[in-house]
């Protein structure tokens, strides 16, 4: 796996109040960028990741409380969630996360060893269910038209590859200026549905609240408005103090140096 640059690393470290001897959980370990910086400052880290290709404790962060307790992290000083898809996942064609690789199988699972790939998942959905997924998880204005087109296309032949879905979307959009953004929203929506990402996020945040010590910090990096709204709502419901009233954004310099950071929003909360 190639080295990558963690997003908003200084803001995360400051938000978590990382200190020597503190105990932290990185609930989305990925390539270990944030965890490495926490360790460099003297923190003790439990890394968790749903992707079996990572060098972390493998598991879905919806089970963070159970996983943490099994590894002796009953009470911790800080927990980080870096949501979305990792650079490694996007850059691995066979995972099917990016429409840049049209010949890849339509998989989109965070853990390819569990559940059904997206190609099997969307094959079973009705047109109305597809519409709801695209409209809700992709906030796609052409959701109804695209859902209808996908159902029509799969009657002719199964939608098994990334390109199969992308071609249907391109045919609907017919506008080069909007094509890339629409494809991104469609693939995001299907990915969120296949992995039940928002359901897992809610459960993970609730488990995190129970693991934090008094004064412990929660840091959440999100990359689209759906995630950010869930995080904001759950912070309130869980009785955490919102250290950041509004999400922090990466600096202009970081956005230029690390394009993945451009849509990032960071919220910090504290357990009182």
Instruction: Supply the range of the domain harboring residue 36.
Output: 9-82+197-270
pLDDT of residue 77: 98
Instruction: Give the chain's mean pLDDT.
Output: 93
pLDDT of residue 92: 61
Q: Over the stretch 72-125, which tens digit does the pLDDT of each residue have? A: 999 999 999 999 776 555 556 656 567 778 899 999 998 888 889 999 999 999
CATH number of the domain within which 114 lies: 1.10.150.170
pLDDT of residue 2: 47
- Quick one: how far is CA 94 from the chain centroid? 18
**Chosen domain end from 195, 222, 257:** 195
Number of domains into which the chain is organized: 2
CATH number of the domain within which 227 lies: 3.40.50.150
215 shares a domain with 183: no
Q: Over the stretch 253-264, which tens digit does the pLDDT of each residue have? A: 999 999 889 999
- 265-270/212-222 β-pairing: antiparallel
**Whole-number Cα distances in Å, 150 to 157, 223, 230, 252:** 10, 26, 29, 38
Give percent above pLDDT 90 in the chain.
84
**Whole-number Cα distances in Å, 162 to 59, 84, 169:** 26, 19, 11
Q: Over the stretch 117-140, which tens digit does the pLDDT of each residue have? A: 999 999 999 999 999 999 999 999
Q: Is 231 part of any domain?
A: yes
More confident residue, 114 or 240: 240
Could you tell me if 235 and 201 are in contact, meaning their C-beta atoms sit under 8 angstroms apart? no
Q: How would DSSP label each residue in 144-155?
A: HHHHHHHHHHHH
Interatomic CA distance for residues 202 and 197, integer angstroms: 9
pLDDT of residue 175: 79
Q: Is 54 helix (H, G, I), strand (E, B) or coil?
A: coil
Q: Is 90 part of any domain?
A: no
Q: Over the stretch 146-181, which tens digit does the pLDDT of each residue have? A: 999 999 999 999 999 999 999 999 999 987 788 999
Interatomic CA distance for residues 37 and 43, integer angstroms: 9
Q: Is 1 part of any domain?
A: no
Indicate the pTM of the whole model.
0.91
pLDDT of residue 91: 58
Q: Over the stretch 213-238, which tens digit does the pLDDT of each residue have? A: 999 999 999 999 999 999 999 999 99
Q: How many CB atoms lie within 10 A of CB 210?
A: 14
């Amino acid at each position: 796996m190639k080295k990558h640059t963690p997003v908003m690393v200084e803001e995360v470290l400051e938000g978590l109040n990382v200190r020597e001897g503190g105990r932290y959980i990185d609930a989305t370990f990925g390539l270990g960028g944030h965890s490495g910086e926490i360790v460099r400052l003297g923190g003790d880290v439990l890394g968790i990741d749903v992707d079996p290709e990572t060098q972390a404790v493998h598991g879905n962060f919806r089970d963070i409380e159970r996983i943490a307790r099994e590894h002796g992290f009953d009470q911790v000083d800080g927990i980080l969630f870096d949501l979305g898809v990792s650079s490694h996942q996007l850059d691995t064609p066979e995972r099917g996360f990016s429409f840049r690789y049209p010949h890849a199988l339509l998989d989109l699972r965070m853990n390819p060893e569990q559940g059904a790939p997206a190609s099997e998942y969307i094959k079973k959905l009705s047109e109305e269910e597809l519409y709801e997924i695209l409209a809700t998880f992709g906030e796609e204005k052409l959701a109804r038209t695209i859902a209808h087109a996908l159902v029509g296309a799969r009657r002719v032949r199964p939608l098994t590859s990334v390109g199969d879905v992308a071609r249907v979307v391109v045919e609907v959009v017919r506008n080069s200026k909007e094509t890339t953004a629409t494809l991104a929203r469609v693939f995001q929506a299907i990915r969120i549905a296949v992995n039940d990402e928002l359901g897992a996020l809610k459960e993970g945040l609730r488990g995190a609240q129970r693991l934090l010590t008094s004064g412990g910090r929660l840091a959440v990096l999100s990359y689209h408005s759906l995630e950010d709204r869930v995080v904001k709502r759950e912070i309130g419901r869980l009785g955490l103090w919102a250290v950041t009233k509004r999400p922090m954004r990466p600096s202009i310099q970081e956005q230029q140096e690390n394009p993945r950071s451009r849509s990032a929003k960071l919220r910090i909360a504290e357990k009182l």
